[in-house]
Structure 1
Amino acid sequence: MIADPIPLPPMPGQRLARGTARLLRSMDHAVLTEFTPVRGLRVDLISLGPKGELWVVECKSGRADFRADRKWQGYLDWCDRYFWAVDGDFPVDLLPEETGLIHADAFGAAITRMAPEIRLAGARRVKVQRDFARAAALRLQALSDPQAFIAGVS
């Protein structure tokens, strides 16, 4: 077995996000973590599929984490499909049945229940796709030239 060269993220939710992002990437989705579709909302993962579809995934590490999330219903207006990503010990009966379910760990994931598709309106789709592209480009630029972002040349 080949050791994973990337160290494990320290927080349980980050580990779920990593495994879920790997699943989505295997499905030909481009994935961003910690994305803000609109002021006041920050999703754990958003993915852009090969046909332009937008999926949002919230990673929940336990009952308390889920109960503390008061904003999740606001995320539904910013994606075509909405999922929860949880580990095998999570009490899935807490999760709304009209949402998707992904079981994950730090190394991978599987869709347990496909989320229903509720297509975004055209103008909203264009905004989210544009913001997704801009966030991805800025993150890539920050990796290739971190000094520019430290100096505030963004």
Structure 2
Amino acid sequence: MDASQSVARLARPDITLAVCRGACRLMRQTGRSVLRELPLPDGRRADIMAIAGSGELTIVEVKSSIEDWRVDQKWPDYLAWCDLLYFAVPVDFPQALIAEEVGLIVADAYGAEILRHPLRRTVAAARRKALLIDCARLACERLARLEDPEFVDFA
């Protein structure tokens, strides 16, 4: 069975999880730290926020199917919150749908490959600082909940 047949057998949530896992592995291989499901100040949520040692912010949005792509056409909103924006898609996704100004990653559960790099933008320093603080606080909170799952926050 080829890769496109195996992807077709998976349910959409499983495809999303597989593509996300592969994209996260790729980001880590490129020296970035990864935080999934990051709420952004404008109410959007980044599937993957990857942070380089330099503070460079990369958002990777995962699209598991054409339907997933069509219902979420607010992707330009992410541009204000990152230096680089990629879409990660499964192997059988029609890549021509992805706008030329954003990056393109093809991924499965085992890894990923960058097919196209995005245009680089620069996040304003104050916004970058605020996002880095948000990322740090969320990561700390998630780690604390793993270490103490019975903790009750009364704040």
Structure 2 length normalisation: TM-score? Answer: 0.88
Match in the other structure for 2:40: 37
Equivalent in the alignment of 1:17: 20
CA distance in 2, matches of 1:69, 1:61: 12
Does residue 152 (structure 1) correspond to residue 153 (structure 2)? The answer is yes
Alignment partner of 1:93 out of 84, 96, 112 = 96
Written as runs of structure 1 = structure 2, the 5 A alignment for 1:49-88 is 49-88=52-91
Q: Which runs of 5+ in 2 are unaligned?
A: 1-12
What's the offset of the Cα at 1:153? Answer: 4.8
Question: Are the equivalent residues in 2 in contact too, given 1:100–1:114 (CA < 8 A)?
Answer: yes
1:140 paired with 2:143, answer yes
| SS of residue paired to 1:61 | coil
Residue identity in the other structure for 2:36: T
Q: Is the 8 A contact 1:41 1:71 kept in 2?
A: no
Partner letter of residue 24 of structure 2?
A
Give the secondary structure class of the aligned counterpart of 2:99.
coil
- Distance in 2 (alpha carbons) for counterparts of 1:119 and 1:63: 30
SS of the counterpart of 1:56? strand
* Alpha carbons 1:102, 1:111 under 8 Å: kept: yes
Q: Residue 58 of structure 1 aligns to a residue in which SS?
A: strand
What's 1:119 paired with?
A: 122
Which of 108, 111, 127 in structure 1 is aligned with 2:111?
108
Q: Which runs of 4+ in 1 moved over 4 A?
A: none
2:84–2:121 CA contact under 8 A, matched in 1: yes
TM-score normalized by structure 1? 0.89
Aligned-CA RMSD value = 1.5
Q: Is the 8 A contact 1:83 1:115 kept in 2?
A: yes
Contact 2:82 2:123 in 1 (8 A): yes
Q: Structure 1, unaligned stretches of length 5 or more?
A: 1-9
Equivalence for 2:3: none
